[in-house]
Structure 1
Amino acid sequence: MKTALALSALALLGWHSASHAATQIDLAQGQALYESHCMKCHAISTNHVGPRHQNVVGRRAGSVADFMYSAALKNSNVVWTEEMLDRWLRNPEALIPGQEMDVRVKSAEERRLLIQYLKSQSLAPNPSQTAPP
């Protein structure tokens, strides 16, 4: 019984390690894709031609206060969930007509990796910037 329990624990630890390694590989691939597809106009923590991407997952489109968005994006009421980011990266104009981004990511796997990388680039909320309960 102890041997079976020990083997189960080792198997779980091995699965966790393999899962963590796969996640790290996905993030590295996502970062490489971000650098090749997105960094011409965007950065994680600063605005450039496009707005910064830090904390983009869960953020309302057009809501970075110190960036000037197109009216289409600012008035879209889109929230950047994983699904919306996938639709955006597939075809921004189809999701928000009149927006100004002209990059498309055709590969579903590349979109998935990019979104996972963007999710990893979120900071914990600053307690002084959150509303009291």
Structure 2
Amino acid sequence: KRRRIVKQYARLRIKHKFSAKKTTSCPKALQEIADKEIAELPLNSCRTRIHGRCVVTSRARSFVRPWRVSRIMFRHFAVLRTTCPACREPCGSGCLRQSLRATCGQVLSCLFVQFCAICRQ
């Protein structure tokens, strides 16, 4: 819900923030008006209110951002990947990717096991 609200008010928030607030050449009256307009926006429209969650367990604490999983799931998947020590990068590198199944059988869309040239053989 918050992500939707942030997306809805993003342009308005950026417009008010950078139009009069950040420019030093604007008069104080315009800066105060911009402050009031930002204050009138919903609190949930602020981007800092969004908190990352694990895609497997929905755990909010100790979230590892590049992989979008909690530290517990990160350790679990790291143990599964010990066969190839060269593959220690988050998804985004050019290695061959293969979707990984969790122990519960769900396919994780954002977490990939990456195989280097050694593993492809």
The structure with the larger Rg is 2
Q: TM-score normalized by structure 2?
A: 0.32
Q: TM-score normalized by structure 1?
A: 0.30
Bigger helix fraction: 1
Higher-RCO chain (CA-CA 8 Å, sequence separation at least 6): 1
